[in-house]
A = this chain, B = another copy of it.
Amino acid sequence: MKTTFKLTIEYCGTPYAGWQIQPDQPSVQEEIQKALARMLNRPVSLIASGRTDAGVHALAQVAHFEAETTITASKFQEALNSMLPKAITIHGCEKMEKRFHARFDAKRKRYTYRIINRALPPAVASDTFWHIRKPLDISAMQRASEHLIGTHDFKAFEGTGSPRATTVRSLYEACVHHHGNGLITLTFCGNGFLKFMVRNLVGTLVDVGLGRTLPGRFKEILHSHNRANAGATAPPQGLFLLCVAYDERPFTPRQFTDSPLYPAGLWTGPC
């Protein structure tokens, strides 16, 4: 009789080729699957709420696995944390109903993207920011981002090579916030995200912030459904998957996880 377990996972994307297993490259999935296989003496398949690209971080990624075992959820968490490298922390392990599926049951995801907007790049924690030298017009970026709220065909912001049944998604939050000292965050919450969608939204909003694209033109790009009209893909290291929700309730800041990268107010905009 198999049991389904849900893991809540923080990871630093820097040393990995992304979430998903790749031949000859380190991945978050492989690290955790290897540790689980050692505990269970057999291969284990770990399914995440979705992939993250190489260099992208997660504060609370969710994944599930099934196992016929007497090991308890808390023992799994403890043993995994003792075996995994320091770039991966298991913040929770829960026994779920058998039918729980980390990808198919996910109702909403929340991402934030960190930009440093000042003359010079940061030396400390440089793998957690996109450095942009020229001053960004935050209020223009905010006006443009308002067009994203609601249900739209986001095909203009989809990466190539990702056939999907539909490119329609709903965004509940799209918010640009200046925290002072050059730190800008772009935060998005929606019922699902296409491949490269957040990074393409950020790249295009940065074009608005630089004055290359008018906020009204941003709306036209969204409704053109044409990737060629949107901006470049923002680099991966600024992107954080914040959390994944499995209930129908609206997001609240309490769901932002308890990560130290969430000190009071740092990641939360006025939204």
Which residues of chain A have a CB within 8 Å of any CB of chain B?
10-12, 57, 59, 81, 86-91, 116, 118, 120-126, 128-129, 179-183, 240, 258-266
B12-A182 in contact (CB<8A): no
Known: A123-B87, A128-B125. A263 touches B266 (CB 8 A): yes
Which chain B residues border A116 with CB–CB below 8 Å? Answer: 260
Provide the bound-state CA to CA distance between A230 and B107, in Å: 52
Which chain B residues border A122 with CB–CB below 8 Å? Answer: 10, 89, 259-261
B12-A57 in contact (CB<8A): no
Which chain B residues border A88 with CB–CB below 8 Å? Answer: 123
A264's partner among B120, B123, B265 (CB-CB below 8 A) is B265
A262-B11 in contact (CB<8A): no
Which chain B residues border A91 with CB–CB below 8 Å? Answer: 120
Provide the bound-state CA to CA distance between A179 and B130, in Å: 25
A181-B123 in contact (CB<8A): no
B181-A258 in contact (CB<8A): yes
A128-B124 in contact (CB<8A): yes
Which chain B residues border A123 with CB–CB below 8 Å? Answer: 10-12, 86-89
Which chain B residues border A81 with CB–CB below 8 Å? Answer: 120
Which chain B residues border A181 with CB–CB below 8 Å? Answer: 258-260, 262-264
CB distance from A52 to the nearest CB of B (A): 12
CB distance from A256 to the nearest CB of B (A): 9
A263's partner among B90, B128, B183, B258 (CB-CB below 8 A) is B183
B182-A260 in contact (CB<8A): yes
Known: A179-B264, A181-B263, A265-B265. A59 touches B124 (CB 8 A): yes
Provide the bound-state CA to CA distance between A182 and B128, in Å: 20
Q: List 26 A-B contacts (CB under 8 A).
A: A10-B122, A10-B124, A11-B123, A11-B124, A12-B123, A81-B120, A87-B123, A87-B126, A89-B121, A89-B122, A90-B120, A122-B260, A122-B261, A124-B240, A124-B261, A125-B128, A125-B261, A179-B264, A180-B263, A181-B260, A181-B262, A181-B263, A182-B258, A182-B260, A183-B263, A264-B265
CB distance from A265 to the nearest CB of B (A): 7
CB distance from A34 to the nearest CB of B (A): 17
